[in-house]
Structure 1
Amino acid sequence: MDCADKRGQAAIGIEYCDQLFRLEREFLAKDLGVEERLKARQERSQPIVGAFFDWLSSFHTMKGKLQEAVRYAQNQQASLRCFLEDGRLALSNNLSERSIKAVVMGRKNYLFSTSMAGGQANALAHSIVETAIANGLNATRYLEYLFTHLPNVPFLQQPDLLDDYLPWSDAVQVQCQHPRLSQ
């Protein structure tokens, strides 16, 4: 992206990637299961990936950011092809990066945790919030649910009771699901 002009070599590489992302959006819209998505990727995405790497191998001498991008893609070819072998894998790591954004954005603020316990509390809070979001919950509702119900639960004596308060439990899903997902 950093070296792309509207008609240059980098734009061609971006178009290959855009084709793959368009297909992934199509597969998502069709709500394909894991096996169906894998089959669709092997039939439709694999030829694009093959053409992309063939195109990359046509480069000989170049300099700068485009050269770095080509070398990186060639060196990571096996990893970049993993999504073609497992229908559960995402095409990119965008979801993972988005989920850690809150931690990255706040890291300078965490320097002001006055103790190790304060830092651990921050990590615990972020873990709870991100797990709630990953399970389709409204994080604020989930925290309110926990703060309202857990003080009355004898979980120290009966640790198994905590299972009912995990983000994937049926009761929590009903009470705390994100409004957009519950429609």
Structure 2
Amino acid sequence: MKLSRIQDGRETKSKSYMWLYQSGGHEPEHPIVLYEYQATRAGAHAANFLQGFSGHLQVDGYAGYHALASDTCILVGCMAHARRKFDEALKALPKESRKNKTGMAQTALRQFTRLYALEKQFKDLTIEQRYLLRQEKSKPLLEALKQWCDDNVSKTAKDAAIGKAIRYTINQWDSLTRYIEDGNIQIDNNAAERHIKPFVIGRKNWLFNQTPRGANASALLYSLVQTAVANNLEPFDYLKYLLTELPKLGRHYEPEALDQFLPWNLTEKIKPLK
């Protein structure tokens, strides 16, 4: 995202960032999607936003998240990011070499495919059932993948695509495999990736926000729309309802008065998505 003129100390066409936070778990009771504009990618922004948070926090391998790890905030890795590294390594190979089923990238990708196939099987199970089956079936596959990475890391160059993929997986291993410790944790954070995609697509259409104020407004609007979608509400109708009913509260109201406008409290008033 680029800002087109100087405001609040931001230089012309400077790069800025949209952070995304989303409630986790396989079936969160109240799905929430929040976008936050920030001028930089510094991990301090996430630390400030998540101050007081306790639980599992699923993130990619960005080093800025490491400072968030604590006894109460447990980082969980994203297996899709690790898999993507090997997919990139496969695409970096000459076309003929990609057909070699015994190649390093191909071998690793088959392991990821097996892990994801298990997750598909476990999708509709209870949290406890998913945990037990992950321990029984996923854990051995993960142990085999780790052993394979350890055996092959010395055979690859650090700057080679396959070398980067193996080293990323080894370095992130503890967080990548943490999902099998709790049946409510996802194998990856693709749900958040799906919610950031509409903003990325939109950004390509409008090219940039002109000011930080506009970027903040975009973050607010996208938060409302995507949270409505996550709760299976028609976003246009939800926004229309908010703009019609919120002014009726007047200028002075208790914060609790806003609870009635949360998406999960409006399922009988707002039509669902088709």
- TM-score, normalising length: structure 1: 0.83
8 Å contact kept, 1:155–1:162: no
- Conserved in 1, the CA contact under 8 Å of 2:149 and 2:166? yes
1:133 maps to 2:219: no
The Cα of 1:101 is off from its aligned counterpart by 1.7
Query: How much is the aligned-residue C-alpha RMSD, in angstroms?
Result: 2.2
Counterpart residue number, 2:119: 24
Moved more, 143-152 or 87-96: 143-152
Shift of 1:20: 1.0
Larger relative contact order (CA 8 Å, sep ≥ 6) = 2
> Which of 104, 123, 134 is the aligned partner of 1:41?
134
Q: Does 1:112 align with 2:209?
A: yes
Between stretches 158-167 and 143-152, larger displacement belongs to 143-152
Instruction: Trace 1:10-89 onto structure 2 (pairs within 5 A).
Output: 10-28=105-123, 31-59=124-152, 60-63=154-157, 64-89=160-185
Paired with 2:127 and 2:171, the residues of 1 have a C-alpha distance of 28
Higher helix share: 1
* Structure 2 gap ranges (5+): 1-86, 91-97
Which whole-Å CA distance do the structure 2 matches of 1:179 and 1:111 have between them?
Answer: 29
Instruction: Please report how far the alpha carbon of residue 50 of structure 1 lies from its aligned counterpart in structure 2 after TM superposition.
Output: 0.8
Letter in 2 for 1:22: A
1:2 aligns with 2:97: no
Instruction: Map Cα deviations across residues 101-152 of structure 1 (whole Å, 9 max, x no partner).
Output: 2233344647333x44322211110111122223333322322222333233
Q: Which residue of 1 aligns with 2:252?
A: 156
Matched, 1:147 2:243: yes
Counterpart of 2:192 in structure 1 is: 96
Q: Distance in 2 between matches of 1:168 and 1:110?
A: 33
Give the distance between the partners of 2:113 and 2:271, measured in 1 at CA: 32
Please state how far the C-alpha of 1:165 moved relative to its aligned partner. 0.8
Pairwise CA distance, 1:10: 0.9
Q: Is the 8 A contact 1:137 1:173 kept in 2?
A: yes
2: CA distance, partners of 1:122 / 1:138:
19
Structure whose residues are more often strand by fraction: 2
Q: Which amino acid aligns with 1:35?
A: E
- Counterparts of 1:105 and 1:24, CA distance in 2: 28
Taking structure 1 as reference, are residues 33 and 145 closer, same or farther at Cα in structure 2, changes over 3 Å only?
farther
Amino acid at match of 2:244: T
Q: What letter corresponds to residue 270 of structure 2 in structure 1?
A: C
Query: What is the identity, as a one-letter code, of the residue corresponding to 2:208?
Result: L
Q: What amino acid is the match of 2:249? A: V
CA contact (8 A) 2:179 2:185 kept: yes
TM-score, normalised by the number of residues in structure 2: 0.58
Name the residue aligned to 2:51. none
- Give the alignment partner of residue 264 of structure 2, picking from 164, 168, 171: 168
Q: How many percent of aligned residue pairs carry the same amino acid?
A: 35
Q: SS state of the match for residue 89, structure 2?
A: coil
Cα deviations by residue, 1:1-25 (Å, 9 ceiling, x for unpaired) = 1232231221111111111111111
Residues 27 and 119 (structure 1), Cα distance of their counterparts in 2 relative to 1, 3 Å cut:
same
The number of residue pairs the alignment matches comes to 175
Contact 2:89 2:165 in 1 (8 A): no
